[in-house]
Amino acid sequence: MAQLDLRCPTCGQVDKVQKVSIIAEGDVVQHHSEYGNYTYPTNLANSLARPSEPKDSTAGGCGITLGILFLIMGVAGLADRNTAGTMLAFSVLSLGGGLLLSILAFFTNSRDKKKYKEMLAHWPKADERWTQLYYCHRDDVIFNPYDSERVSMPVSNMTNYLFGASGHPQQNLNREK
């Protein structure tokens, strides 16, 4: 069985390399004050945190509901034969705004559902990739030693790497020397 090569692809060293999951779960700052002791993750730990499982958004449904409410108000205002000028204008605006809001919310909701389903389909592989990542403190890059391409990438590219269809970073910093 071959030994895993943990050298950073950027600098070729191993002395400043650490597993991402260890940093994300254990790199904390302790704050002591007269009000108590607090522990919170460092900025690096937050940047390297395990991505959350995708959640389905309900915002589109709320927009559709609000749009329908405006539509009902507009229709009710127009149906009233005693509607005066200002109320008539309000009814027309409610009707138009409700229609526009309902249509926008419907299409936004459809797009969000599609994106959610894509992210959810990639979630198990993304989570597995995250557990394989290493971080080089010297070069401020992450890399996956299990990846055959042996490339490093900026921390900011982690989500693209984890959820990318190919599993390879979209922007490579450096290939192994």
Mean pLDDT of the chain: 77
**Residue 30, beta-bridge partner list:** 39
pLDDT tens string 49-58: 988 777 766 5
Phi-psi category of residue 167: left, alpha or beta, with phi > 0 → left and psi -120 to 50 → alpha: left
pLDDT tens string 139-154: 999 999 998 888 999 9
Residue 139 sits at φ, ψ, to 5 deg, of: -105, -5
pLDDT confidence tier of residue 175, bands split at 50, 70 and 90: very low
Domains in the chain: boundaries: 12-40+133-177, 58-116
| Angle formed at CA 76 by CA 75 and CA 78, multiple of 5 degrees | 65
Distance CA 41, CA 72 (A): 49
pLDDT confidence tier of residue 156, bands split at 50, 70 and 90: very high
Name 149's Cβ contacts closer than 8 Å, sequence gap at least 6.
168, 172, 175
Distance CA 70, CA 25 (A): 47
